[in-house]
Amino acid sequence: MTSPASGDGRIALSMGRSIKLAIGLLISALFLYATFRTISVDRVMSVLAEAQLGWIAVSLGFVAVAYSLKIYRWVTMLRSLGSTVRLREAAVPFLGGVAFNNVLPFRAGDVIRVVAFQRFTGIPASGQVGTLVLERLLDLFVLMTFLFATISFLQADMLDEALLAGLKLAALAVAAAIILFVSAPGLIRMAVKWAEGRAPRLRPAGEALLRLSDAVSTLTRPLFVARITLISILAWLAEGGAFFAVGKALGIAATPEAALLALSVGTLSTIIPSSPGYVGTFHYFTARTVSGVGASAIGAAAFAILIHAILWLSITASGFLLLLLAGLRPKAVPAQAARSTD
């Protein structure tokens, strides 16, 4: 029998999630309004209608390369934990998880990837958490590095010098914090214990941080980290190629630096709570970035719509197709495997 207290807890949790979802949808609506309030949607559609299909195909090719590398990075991490999962088998939970993230709130696809697809990886959920955390840290590190590099060498008219300096400082600070978190778990533990001793209310957050640090520490051998960092850089460069190709398709912001800047700002904007698929936030910040490097407001809005459509549609469709095929032809992966060498 379910106790009244547990029932009340579930109701409160459900209400909390509903409120968060409503806030996310509201934020998306506000950013969409801010993106399109001063421009003609019909004119944006006209620009999109003139996009060169050849460059759109090139953009899709870059997306395929980028996600193949991201899947390979995850496979590399799983194999370091003892899995024998192959690239095509890992593609099912990886792309399936991204597809669910694109249509469900609260990044539910990450939970689904770790918990629901253990038969593909042969690694328990507790072991996979570290791969997910390290994956996110590497992505953030690479994007912050790209952000620092592009705003250092590219003149963005939309930003004043003080803001540019602030962004560079923030990028360096975040990158340094990630390096510290990954490379010095002992120092992190000391800092957490020191903070908890002076502010006991921080203990739950500190314990959560230590659990994440412990999960990542099993994957942070120096040569191994260097290897997966290189894979991460190549993956995000390929995704930057997709942005570059969209610029070529529309005839705007078609330089590698502008593409990497739009990639960095647009992707980092998905940290802001919003609707599933990051509608609104991604469009606003990507469009602002592209307009800041010389594109018109209409062209920038078209750019944001097209690159979002390419990323969202291609990965969502691929993920759910793979899930469908895997459901028709399930194939488990042995849990025992020889540890791969670096």
Give domain status of residue 16, yes or no.
no
Give domain status of residue 145, yes or no.
no
Nearest to 68 by CA among 327, 315, 341, 324: 315
Per-residue pLDDT at 297 = 93
Question: CA 302 to CA 246: how far, in whole Å?
Answer: 10
pTM higher than 0.75 for the full model? Answer: yes
Q: Is residue 69 pLDDT above 90, yes or no?
A: yes
Query: Tens digit of pLDDT for each residue in 256-275?
Result: 989 999 999 999 999 988 88
Reported confidence tier of residue 318, pLDDT bands at 50, 70, 90:
very high
User: At residue 108, what is the residue type?
Assistant: A
Q: Is residue 336 pLDDT above 50, yes or no?
A: no
Give domain status of residue 70, yes or no.
yes
- Cβ count near 164 (within 10 Å): 15
Q: Is residue 215 pLDDT above 70, yes or no?
A: no
Share of the chain above pLDDT 70, in %: 87
Question: CA 324 to CA 228: how far, in whole Å?
Answer: 29
Give domain status of residue 187, yes or no.
no
Per-residue pLDDT at 171 = 78
Torsion of CA 51, 52, 57, 61, to 10 degrees: -80
Please, which residues have CB within 8 angstroms of residue 90's CB and are 6 or more apart in sequence?
71, 74, 75, 78, 120, 121
More confident position, 13 or 182: 182
Q: Any idea which residue has 């533990």 for tokens?
A: 189
DSSP state of 147: H
Q: Is residue 9 pLDDT above 60, yes or no?
A: no
Give domain status of residue 66, yes or no.
yes
Question: CA 276 to CA 267: how far, in whole Å?
Answer: 14
Give domain status of residue 182, yes or no.
no
Give domain status of residue 247, yes or no.
yes
Domain of 249?
37-128+239-328
Nearest to 143 by CA among 166, 164, 174: 174
More confident position, 209 or 30: 30
Reported confidence tier of residue 197, pLDDT bands at 50, 70, 90:
confident
Give domain status of residue 100, yes or no.
yes
Question: CA 83 to CA 114: how far, in whole Å?
Answer: 14
Question: CA 90 to CA 113: how far, in whole Å?
Answer: 10
Count of domains forming the chain = 1
Joined tokens for residue 239: 């995704």
Per-residue pLDDT at 10 = 63
